[in-house]
Structure 1
Amino acid sequence: MDHQPIEFLMGDRRGAHLLLRPAELDRPGESGDDWLVTEVVIAAGGFSGRFRAFLRAEELAGFRSRLATLHDELRGEAVLDCTDGWLRVAVSGDGRGGLVARCEATDDPAIDNRLRFVLLLDQSYLPGMIDGLDAILRRYPVAG
């Protein structure tokens, strides 16, 4: 198995961004399990941090599909709304190549600490975002 880090990057690594780096399946070997232990890294304005979240491959696959549609049409919205409230990302296109990502991250849904932030992007980010999700889904395919 390839052990190169795989990641989804939205934004500029040297500036404002959201980075998802899945490390492993939460319960490897269990039938129907597609929960990924994922390092979430955020830099937005004066805020930066990282935490561990549990995301589902199925949700990432749906987000990837909606991002591909957004890439083709440049208008509409692609939403990632994670089970248990770990992460919500809504990327909206203006029809001219401009994108706004409205994000909310929760480091522990039981405690409910939240960070809301906005990333301003353009269409040139979409291919890399889609490629990042493709790499994650090749390593951790949707269960079933």
Structure 2
Amino acid sequence: MGKRRKAPLPNRRALRPTRRLTKSNDIVKRAPVGRKLKNTTTMIDSDKINFILGKETSEYLQILVDNFAYPDSTDFWDGNWINTRIKIKVGGFIGDYKAQLRNVDFLDFKNGLERLYDKLDGYANFDCLEDYIQIKIKGDGLGHFSADCVANDSPGIYGHELKFSIDFDQTEIHSLTKMIDDLLIEFPIKDIEQIQKNKGIR
């Protein structure tokens, strides 16, 4: 009699359970449990003007600026919209989506960060009209800060929302304000006199 052949072993990799890392309309990734997701889009992009909160080695929120949404407009309301790409890596979640923001909001955010650096307590907020990303930073008075963030890949009834927090300390505020300065040099606020004429407008 011939030798009985052993049944082939099942593909263990195929049977390994997966976990959902994000639920964005723009990008949905799955990675095997216990394995790192190989995805070049999660790497911090240094080729464009960008703002980064957090660290690449742990967790971060990154906003990359592509261009002015309406480059021919010199109007304060239309001319200051910028096309951006938002990348997020927190816990087991990875997000990557496009958003239209206003450069004016970065100026307000920088002013709030500078107040936090001096006083160590209080708040610094980044708010955008379309609700693509909200950042609310609170200081504890001792030099520690927590940024509570809400990301929305498509504001409205069909969007997906992710809430997360990133902690940092006073030593990182200078680099945050420097990134905003560089962004506003590359994408300056048009018709900036409107800010002086109408304090508080955004």
Q: Structures share a fold, TM > 0.5?
A: yes
CA distance in structure 1 between the aligned counterparts of 2:182 and 2:96, rounded to whole angstroms: 21
**Which residue pairs with 1:13 in the alignment?**
56
CA distance in structure 2 between the aligned counterparts of 1:123 and 1:19, rounded to whole angstroms: 19
Pairwise mapping of residues 64-83 of structure 1 onto structure 2 (< 5 A)?
A: 64-83=110-129
> Aligned residue pairs: how many?
141
CA distance in structure 1 between the aligned counterparts of 2:173 and 2:161, rounded to whole angstroms: 26
CA distance in structure 2 between the aligned counterparts of 1:8 and 1:62, rounded to whole angstroms: 14
**Which residue pairs with 1:142 in the alignment?**
189
**Which residue pairs with 1:132 in the alignment?**
179
CA distance in structure 2 between the aligned counterparts of 1:142 and 1:132, rounded to whole angstroms: 15
* Equivalent residues of 1:104, 1:116 under 8 A apart: yes
Percent identity between the two aligned chains: 28
Find the structure with the greater CA-based Rg: 2
Relative contact order, higher structure (CA 8 A, sep 6+): 1
* Equivalent residues of 1:61, 1:142 under 8 A apart: no
CA distance in structure 2 between the aligned counterparts of 1:99 and 1:139, rounded to whole angstroms: 28
**TM-score, scaled relative to structure 2:** 0.68
- Pairing partner for 2:135 from 76, 89, 104: 89
Cα deviation, 1:37-79, whole Å, max 9, x if unaligned, reads 0111111111112111101011111001111111111111000
Cα deviation, 1:88-144, whole Å, max 9, x if unaligned, reads 000111110110000001111132211100001111111111111111111111121
**Which residue pairs with 2:149 in the alignment?**
103
Whichever structure has more strand as a proportion of its residues is: 1
Secondary structure of the 1:83 match is: coil
Secondary structure of the 1:7 match is: strand
Which sits farther off after the overlay, 119-128 or 97-106?
119-128
**TM-score, scaled relative to structure 1:** 0.94
**Which residue pairs with 2:163 in the alignment?**
116
